[in-house]
């Protein structure tokens, strides 16, 4: 395809695209933006998404099929509001959708919904995952078949409320010279329904082996954790949030630690972007979103695809987030 980005859907607003290859097709699992009429704030209250659609395409340049609503918040017994970024994993003929939502106490939890088809519909389990918290779950299947879940987001994603290891209704971040808050990772249980272990920190180090600090807002993790593997290396990519970059770090284990490497994508139109990285038929692609189609409204975003390229040393060529189609 062209090196220029392509908007995938223009009929509704879609964001946070997580893409996988299932049954020889590309399936994309985005969130569904709506204009809920809620004032914009740093907690993300204006992102009041209420359902998920699933999309598929035979190739990156092909037609995009909207399979309709795969899961609606009214069918999730424990969820009160704000179904943010989700992802779907596959094992033994069953598809598992992991999604965040706020419970009746306005605390984010992560739920699981199940289907026998990637496009759904999905049936939600009656309770969230035990010990789950924060937002942006994404899944990774390693070469040995082990599945991992990565998650977390600061500010509205509430990750800062767990900085002591347990929930506290305190949104203060760590001090500027302290190690930055980290995304979380856990191996999934054999039945894919729970954490198989206590979630661990996804530590990002600088070139000298020191954890990135809170003040390092151009490199530290904010949200949108994603894992992929290239030439035997683990690539952890993420958004820096308020500095609007997509960055990546590499390591030798799905648990890390990861050494910061650089920028995947420069800022887009809209507050920030959120992504996934996918290989399909020998080429690599970045799925992301921006707010161009809504005239810059940060809560009305549209998902896109653009080709991603590696240099000979395995580093990723930086993509211009504001490139025209």
Active site residues: 16, 223
Return d(Cα 262, Cα 206) in angstroms, integer.
11
Q: In this structure, are residues 138 and 274 in contact, taking their beta carbons and an 8 Å threshold?
A: no
């Amino acid at each position: 395809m062209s090196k220029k980005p392509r908007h995938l859907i223009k009929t509704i607003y879609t964001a946070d695209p997580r893409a996988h290859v299932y049954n020889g097709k590309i399936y994309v699992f985005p969130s569904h933006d709506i204009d809920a009429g809620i004032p914009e704030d740093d907690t993300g209250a204006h992102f009041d998404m209420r359902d998920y659609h699933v999309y598929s395409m035979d190739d990156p340049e092909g037609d995009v099929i909207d399979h309709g609503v795969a899961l609606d918040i009214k069918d999730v017994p424990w969820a009160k509001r704000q179904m943010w970024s989700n992802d779907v994993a596959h094992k033994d003929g069953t598809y598992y959708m992991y999604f965040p939502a706020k419970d009746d106490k306005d605390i984010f939890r992560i739920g699981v919904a199940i289907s026998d088809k990637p496009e759904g519909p999905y049936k939600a389990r009656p309770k969230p995952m035990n010990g789950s918290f924060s937002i942006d779950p994404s899944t990774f299947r390693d070469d040995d078949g082990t599945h991992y879940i990565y998650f977390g987001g600061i500010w509205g994603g509430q990750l800062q409320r767990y900085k002591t290891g347990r929930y506290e209704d305190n949104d203060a971040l760590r001090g500027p010279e302290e190690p930055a808050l980290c995304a979380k990772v856990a191996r999934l249980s054999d039945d894919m329904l729970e954490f198989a272990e206590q979630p661990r920190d996804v530590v990002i180090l600088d070139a000298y082996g020191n954890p990135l600090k809170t003040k390092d807002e151009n490199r530290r993790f904010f949200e949108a954790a994603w894992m992929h593997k290239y030439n035997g290396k683990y690539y952890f990519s993420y958004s820096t949030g308020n500095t609007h970059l997509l960055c990546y770090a590499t390591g030798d284990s799905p648990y890390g630690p990861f050494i910061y490497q650089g920028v995947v994508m420069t800022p887009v139109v809209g507050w920030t972007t959120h992504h996934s990285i996918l290989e399909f038929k020998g080429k690599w692609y970045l799925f992301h979103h921006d707010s161009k189609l809504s005239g810059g409204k940060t809560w009305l975003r549209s998902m896109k695809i653009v080709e991603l390229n590696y240099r000979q040393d395995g580093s990723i060529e930086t993509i211009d987030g504001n490139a025209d189609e």
